[in-house]
Amino acid sequence: MFSVTVRDHMMVAHSLRGEVFGPAQRLHGATYVVDATFRRTTLDDDGIVVDLGAAAEVLRSVLGELGYRNLDEEPAFAGRNTTTEVLAQVVADRVADRVLAGALGAGALGVEQIVVALHESHVASASYERPL
């Protein structure tokens, strides 16, 4: 399996419901380093998984929809805790939607899996893997 990973970051504000979250129940900020990995069994006709520049632009576009916002006020998250795991799934799904819509070109339609990892710090991260 071949893979290519691009990285960016986003800063958000949010609060989490539930006693398990302790002080994170209050509004707070979070900065995530975000990796999007594209995987496929065979390379395209150009010998690549995806175009790195185009993949970086897609990730930046998705993160631009989420960054510098209070996620508690975003209708897409109404009634949901915006945990790192949930955000990893949302980012992966939005990246996948763009790939399927052709944002990375026809060659990228051979991508079989997308993995998105959100790194909260140098010691903690969560990820979501999905087929394409």
| Per-residue pLDDT tens digits for 112-126 | 999 999 999 999 999
pTM (two decimals): 0.96
Q: 2 by DSSP, 3-state: which?
A: strand
Neighbours of 48 (CB within 10 A): 16
Q: Which of 70, 81, 80, 79 is nearest to 16 (CA)?
A: 81
Domain that holds residue 32: 2-131
Where on the phi/psi map is residue 68: left (φ > 0), alpha (ψ -120 to 50), or beta? left
CB contact at 8 A, 32 and 88: no
Ordered DSSP codes for 33-99: EEEEEEEESS--TTS-SS-HHHHHHHHHHHHHHHTTSBGGG-GGGTTS---HHHHHHHHHHHHHHHH
Q: Which CATH number is 14's domain given?
A: 3.30.479.10
| Per-residue pLDDT tens digits for 34-69 | 999 999 999 999 999 999 999 999 999 999 999 999
pLDDT exceeds cutoff 90 at 107: no
Distance between CA atoms of 79 and 66, rounded to whole angstroms? 17
Task: Quote the number of domains for the chain.
Answer: 1
